[in-house]
Amino acid sequence: MESYSETAVEARRISKIFPGETEVRALDDVSVSIHRNEFFTLLGPSGCGKTTLLRVIAGFEPPTMGALFLAGTDISRLPPNQRPVNTVFQNYALFPHMSVANNIAFGLEMLGKPKDEVRKTVDDMLRLVRMEALSARRTSEISGGQQQRVALARALAPHPEVLLLDEPLSALDLKLRKEMQIELKRLQNETGITFIFVTHDQEEALTMSDRVAVMNAGKILQIGSPQEIYQRPAERFVANFIGESNFLDATLSGHTATLKAGGAHEVDPPEGVSDGTVSVLVRPEHASVRVGEPKTNEMAATVETVVYSGEATTLHLRLGTGEALKARLPNSPGGGALPGQGTAASVSIAPGAVTVLKD
């Protein structure tokens, strides 16, 4: 376990209940500890509680239960203006009555920094987000992407310990989005600030994060590196939410899973899964297909559909058990022979590619 000096933010068993006619449990016993200088991403479907968790960390929502620690200190009852945490809001929330430069200077002025230091930091920030030319503009007179960069600069200027980013890229078009992803990563490296990033775009989460927490219905289902989350999802929901998945029935016995459709595979089952009937995950790119009769550890299948998509071809197969399986095969330069529609084929699964799921 990491020591306190390495932990930036720690949430201990936080629940948030919004009272009302129908009570909403927006956060349900959430515990997470986020390291310093980490790019930590909260990933989950709409309404799963990502924004609520950020708002609890920023101090806008007091948790109903649980405690929040910043560098080892309990800050659960501290108002937002006393937390060394800044937010890039989903809608940017730039002050419309101030110029770009004044927006960026706001936090520094509120901290009572001397005038020349404010000016210098604002200049640095303008340069960092490449907005020098537009510093005197009103924030209503700049484009969405520019507003996003100003929001970023405004939140970074006071050099907070933790920066919260609530889907900051969701309003941008694809090209700008890709650019900003790289820019954000660069900023995080240059400033050494802990980033807590919210998105419901799984690709964005995988490419940018040091660690990802997958949330659903107010709970954190799994925390891990992008590789762990993708390759060893603990639950069906996580597997389904990230990447494409095949779910197959199998029988578990110790470290061996025998697929119903045929073949025994060595597995490393997660804690709390006992021997018997289980569900396993196979990623489409980990299955390979050839024409011919199945050998040992292969499964017989019929090709139902062939979908060509540039760098790969996806075969939609029907196994002997009636289960569906997608196999994603990279296209070779010569356009190698693939089984055509309606043909009988054999499917093999790469070693270590079978993951046992908790449910």
Q: Does residue 87 interact with another protein by CB under 8 A?
A: yes
Among 46, 274, 296, 309, binds ligand ATP (CB under 6 A): 46
Binding mask 158-187 for another protein (x = CB under 8 A): x-----------------------------
Among 149, 154, 200, 232, binds ligand ATP (CB under 6 A): 200
Tokens of 208: 């940018």
Rounded to 5 degrees, what are φ and ψ at 9? -125, 135
Which distant-in-sequence residues (6+ apart) come within 8 Å of 1 by Cβ? none
SS3 286: helix
Backbone conformation region of residue 181, classed left if phi is above 0, alpha if psi is from -120 to 50, else beta: alpha
**CB of residue 228 to another protein, shortest distance in Å:** 32
Closest to another protein by CB, 59 vs 294, is 59
Check if the beta carbon of residue 2 is closer than 8 Å to that of residue 71: no
Among 8, 28, 30, 50, binds ligand ATP (CB under 6 A): 50
Q: Does residue 111 interact with another protein by CB under 8 A?
A: yes
What is d(CA 192, CA 38) in angstroms, rounded to the nearest whole number?
8
Closest to ligand ATP by CB, 51 vs 279, is 51
**CB of residue 62 to another protein, shortest distance in Å:** 14
Closest to Mg ion by CB, 51 vs 246, is 51
Tokens of 104: 């960026």
Give the strand pairing for 246-253 and 276-282: antiparallel
What is d(CA 132, CA 124) in angstroms, rounded to the nearest whole number?
9
Q: Does residue 140 interact with another protein by CB under 8 A?
A: yes
Q: Does residue 51 interact with Mg ion by CB under 5 A?
A: yes
Q: Does residue 138 interact with another protein by CB under 8 A?
A: yes
**CB of residue 135 to another protein, shortest distance in Å:** 16
Closest to ligand ATP by CB, 14 vs 250, is 14
**CB of residue 145 to another protein, shortest distance in Å:** 19
Q: Does residue 147 interact with Mg ion by CB under 5 A?
A: no
**CB of residue 142 to another protein, shortest distance in Å:** 14
**CB of residue 114 to another protein, shortest distance in Å:** 15
Among 2, 6, 18, 227, binds ligand ATP (CB under 6 A): 18
What is d(CA 77, CA 59) in angstroms, rounded to the nearest whole number?
8
Q: Does residue 81 interact with another protein by CB under 8 A?
A: yes
What is d(CA 53, CA 162) in angstroms, rounded to the nearest whole number?
14
Give the strand pairing for 24-35 and 162-166: unpaired
What is d(CA 111, CA 128) in angstroms, rounded to the nearest whole number?
21
Beta strands (DSSP E) in the chain are 7-18, 24-35, 39-43, 65-70, 73-74, 85-88, 162-166, 194-199, 211-216, 219-224, 246-253, 256-259, 264-266, 276-282, 287-291, 299-308, 312-319, 324-330, 344-349, 355-356
* DSSP bridge partners of 65: 15
**CB of residue 87 to another protein, shortest distance in Å:** 5
Q: How far is CA 171 from CA 146, 147, 185, in A?
A: 12, 11, 18
Binding mask 255-294 for another protein (x = CB under 8 A): ----------------------------------------
Closest to ligand ATP by CB, 24 vs 273, is 24
Q: Does residue 80 interact with another protein by CB under 8 A?
A: yes
DSSP-derived secondary structure for 106-124 = HHHHHTT--HHHHHHHHHH
Residue 149 near which of Mg ion, ligand ATP, another protein, none (CB within 5-8 Å, type-dependent):
none
Among 30, 48, 53, 58, binds another protein (CB under 8 A): 58
Residues 306-345 that bind ligand ATP (CB under 6 A): none
Interacting residues with Mg ion (CB under 5 A): 51
